[in-house]
């Protein structure tokens, strides 16, 4: 207990006050009934200022419930000298009579006839009594400790108890007995706590319980089978709480445990944070790995798509290049063939012109000879010339047929068609238009085409010969 101020001792003042209250309470209130009859209108405040109330207030206990029933409900019936006392079944009673050494009736719930002039009786509750204990103790370290507990007791042998205990309080027959047992219990608790440390008192209350039980049973029940007890039996002894009165000491006692628990809690938090961090890192690693795998798969898919697209474009470009090369080669071949055909036609034309010139010269010579040799020789010469020309034509046609047979009809036709514009450009412009009708030939074969060409050439020759004759 800490001092309230300089020159004062709170604990000493409290002990003195408790001692004064105890002395007041130990005085038997024999005239309680007469005082109640003399002052029936006593206020509740006056009842609350009784010694018991003062003791409860000083000791810090709760104020008793004044509305609860006080003494045992004993009914007295009859009138004058013929009365009956009816005792409840849970109350002890002792009935004595003047001139008798021993009681007439004693026991639990015994009812009897009562003569007011010579008889007297005492009724005591038989129920279990509970004593609340608030013991202010000084432990081994000279520190104040408040020990709270309770004791339950019951009357075991009323024949001994009514002779050794004071049940004369009209308001509460058990008041003095409870007060005496409470003081003995507090003394036993203080004696035991004085030999113990603060930590022992707070952590293990069993030694206090054993010490208190032993002392109270030695007083209430006696030792062995001797008649030294009070006729009571201790039912149970319990210590509810032990509190250090100094708040600073209480905080200092709690600091190591709180610090240890704080350390354990902090370590647990650190372990939890570490586990959470590791889990988060693992989750982040898995997420990042999954993201990288997805990106790699997407990159591979894009690469495959781009490669496929590139291969397709390259193949298409190659195909187009090849097609262009093929077309260019075909065009070149067609142009070469057309050129060759044009050159051949040109050579044939020159040959025809030369032949025509030769024929013209021969004709002139024949004409001269005809003029000389006569008409018959002229005819023969003309026939022979025509025959030779026909033979030459046939030979030339055979050679051309052999050349043309080496090519297909489609290619020959395409070449011929392709070279026609150039041939037409090189032909001399006609002074007059002559139409030649070619019918009866099969244009789909080489022989039919050659026949038509022979007709065309013959027509041309006839036209040239006519032109020369005119000139």
The per-residue pLDDT for range 415-459, each reduced to its tens digit, is 767 776 777 677 666 566 556 565 555 656 666 666 777 777 777
Per-residue pLDDT band for 172 (boundaries 50, 70, 90) equals confident
pLDDT at 103: 87
pLDDT at 281: 92
Percent of the chain with pLDDT over 90: 7
Residue showing tokens 């006519």 = 466
**Alpha-carbon distances, residue 389 vs 225, 345, 366 (angstroms):** 182, 19, 14
Mean pLDDT, all residues of the chain: 75
Highest mean pLDDT among 50-54, 136-140, 145-149, 264-268: 264-268
pLDDT (average), residues 304-323: 87
Domain 128-245: CATH superfamily is: Band 7 domain (3.30.479.30)
Outline where 239-374 has alpha helix (H): 247-373
pLDDT (average), residues 367-384: 69
pLDDT at 332 over 70: yes
Could you state, in order of their start, the residue ranges of all structural domains in the chain? 128-245, 333-470
The per-residue pLDDT for range 250-307, each reduced to its tens digit, is 777 777 888 888 889 999 999 999 999 999 999 999 999 999 999 999 999 989 888 8
Q: Let me know: does 184 contact 215? Beta carbons within 8 Å.
A: yes
Q: Let me know: does 242 contact 218? Beta carbons within 8 Å.
A: no
Q: Who has greater pLDDT, 405 or 321?
A: 321
The verdict on pTM exceeding 0.85 is: no
Token output for 417: 């068609």
Q: Let me know: does 50 contact 57? Beta carbons within 8 Å.
A: no
Q: Who has greater pLDDT, 157 or 437?
A: 157
pLDDT at 61: 40
pLDDT at 51: 42
Token output for 440: 């009866």
- The alpha carbon of 317 is separated from its chain's Cα centroid by a whole number of angstroms, namely 56
**Which residues 6+ apart lie within 8 Å of 60 measured at CB?**
134
């Amino acid at each position: 207990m800490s001092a309230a101020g300089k020159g004062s001792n709170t604990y000493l003042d409290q002990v003195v006050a408790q001692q004064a209250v105890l002395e007041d309470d130990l005085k038997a209130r024999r005239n309680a009934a007469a005082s109640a009859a003399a002052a029936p209108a006593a206020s509740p405040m006056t009842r609350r200022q009784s010694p018991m109330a003062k003791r409860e207030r000083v000791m810090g206990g709760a104020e008793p419930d004044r509305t609860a029933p006080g003494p045992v409900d004993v009914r007295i019936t009859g009138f004058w000298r013929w009365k009956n006392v009816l005792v409840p079944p849970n109350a002890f009673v002792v009935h004595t009579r003047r001139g008798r050494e021993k009681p007439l009736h004693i026991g639990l719930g015994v009812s009897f006839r009562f003569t007011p002039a010579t008889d007297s009786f005492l009724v005591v509750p038989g129920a279990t009594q509970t004593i609340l204990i608030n013991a202010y103790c000084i432990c081994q370290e000279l520190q104040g400790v408040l020990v709270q507990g309770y004791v339950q007791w019951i009357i075991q042998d009323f024949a001994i108890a009514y002779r050794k205990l004071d049940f004369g309080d009209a308001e509460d027959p058990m008041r003095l007995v409870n007060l005496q047992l409470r003081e003995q219990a507090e003394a036993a608790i203080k004696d035991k706590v004085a030999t113990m440390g603060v930590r022992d008192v707070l952590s293990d209350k069993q030694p206090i319980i054993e010490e208190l039980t032993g002392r109270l049973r030695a007083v209430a029940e006696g030792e062995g089978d001797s008649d030294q007890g009070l006729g009571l039996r201790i039912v149970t002894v319990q210590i509810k709480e032990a509190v250090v009165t100094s708040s600073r000491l209480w905080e200092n006692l709690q600091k190591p445990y709180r610090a240890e628990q704080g350390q354990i809690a902090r370590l647990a938090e650190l372990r939890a944070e570490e586990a959470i961090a590791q889990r988060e890192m693992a989750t982040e690693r898995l997420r990042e790995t999954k993201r990288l795998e997805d990106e790699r798969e997407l990159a591979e898919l894009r690469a495959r798509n781009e490669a496929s697209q590139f291969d397709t474009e390259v193949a298409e470009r190659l195909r187009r290049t090849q097609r262009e090369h093929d077309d260019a080669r075909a065009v070149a071949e067609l142009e070469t063939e057309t050129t060759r055909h044009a050159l051949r036609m040109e050579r044939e034309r020159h040959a025809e012109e030369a032949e025509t010139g030769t024929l013209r010269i021969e004709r002139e010579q024949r004409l001269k000879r005809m003029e000389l040799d006569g008409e018959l020789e002229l005819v023969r010469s003309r026939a022979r010339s025509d025959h030779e020309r026909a033979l030459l034509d046939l030979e030339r046609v055979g050679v051309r047929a052999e050349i043309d047979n080496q090519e297909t009809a489609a290619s020959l036709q395409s070449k011929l068609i392709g070279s026609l514009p150039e041939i037409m450009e090189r032909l001399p412009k006609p002074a007059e238009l002559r139409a030649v009708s070619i019918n009866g030939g099969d244009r789909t074969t080489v022989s039919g085409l050659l026949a038509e060409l022979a007709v065309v050439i013959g027509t041309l020759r006839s036209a040239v010969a006519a032109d020369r004759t005119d000139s």
